[in-house]
Amino acid sequence: MIIDVVTLFPEMFDGPLGYSIVKRAIEKDIVEVNRVNFRQFGKGKHQRVDDTPYGGGAGMLLKPEPLFDAVDSINEREPETKKRIILMDPAGKPFNQAMAEEFSGEEHLVFLCGHYEGYDERIRSMVTDEVSLGDYVLTGGELAAMVMIDATVRLLPEVLGNADSAQTDSHSSGLLEHPHYTRPVEYRGMKVPDVLMNGNHGLIAEWRHKESLKRTFERRPDMLASYDLSDQDKKLIAEWKTEEME
Ligand code: ADE
């Protein structure tokens, strides 16, 4: 996969790209990450990338030309790849695990990171996706792009050591993850559940599913609306609802 990040602050990405799983994915050539500073396409002696809004109002807007030129330069470097051009925007579609999975199947992702009050509207004409990290406003799109790159890259084939570990993540199954325990068996009066130590894999799988369901019911009941509940799941949820009312 190729990722290009179009940003005025390329150094901000040193941390997230330079450690742990993403670093290893880059070293193993599973992903190539390029940073394109669109200041180089700024206008005039001062390489301006922003300007005041027509019609008046507070704040500055990103001008269209530097961002279009930056994307043109990526198209010139990689004319053959099929690209998703993703605009970081608090008014975009909220990012989630399903989107990370979709992105991880793409050939080339281009993240456009804005700053200032916003963008000239015409910039939207070249984007395929407008995506928000969540319902809050950041100082720029960089932190949002870092999160999306991290969540996407770890899903690429061969990136995670244990091929199974992405499938059991919270959110990828549609439920939150069940609790985990390691040694010691007892710590500060808290014991590892017996079922995890008896070696019965059927019972362990059943316990884990029930705990996932319970955790999702308690913390994120909204997620259950899009989860395919079995009859047994429905029975458990009905019991927990009755317990809640008591
Ligand atoms: N830029 C500023 N805030 C943002 C957000 N929540 N998501 C994506 N880009 C942003």
Domain regions of the chain by residue span: 2-153, 186-245
Kindly report, residue by residue over 83-121, the tens digit of the pLDDT.
999 999 999 999 999 999 999 999 999 999 998 678 999
Active site residues: 90, 117, 154, 169
Kindly report, residue by residue over 195-213, the tens digit of the pLDDT.
999 999 999 999 999 999 9
**Whether this model's pTM surpasses 0.75:** yes
- Ligand 1 pocket: which of 7, 138, 147, 148 to mutate (most atoms within 8 A of CB): 138
Distance CA 140, CA 76 (A): 26
CATH architecture for the domain at 2-153: 3-Layer(aba) Sandwich (3.40)
Q: How many CB atoms lie within 10 A of CB 72?
A: 12
Coil, strand, or helix at residue 85?
strand
* 2-153 and 186-245 have identical folds: no
What CATH code would you report for 186-245? 1.10.1270.20
Distance CA 96, CA 111 (A): 16
Closest C-alpha to ligand 1, atom 1: 141
Closest C-alpha to ligand 1, atom 4: 90
H or E element at residue 50? strand 50-51
Distance CA 101, CA 242 (A): 36
Closest C-alpha to ligand 1, atom 7: 132
The predicted structure's pLDDT at residue 164: 57
Q: Ligand 1 mean position to 94 CA, how many Å?
A: 10
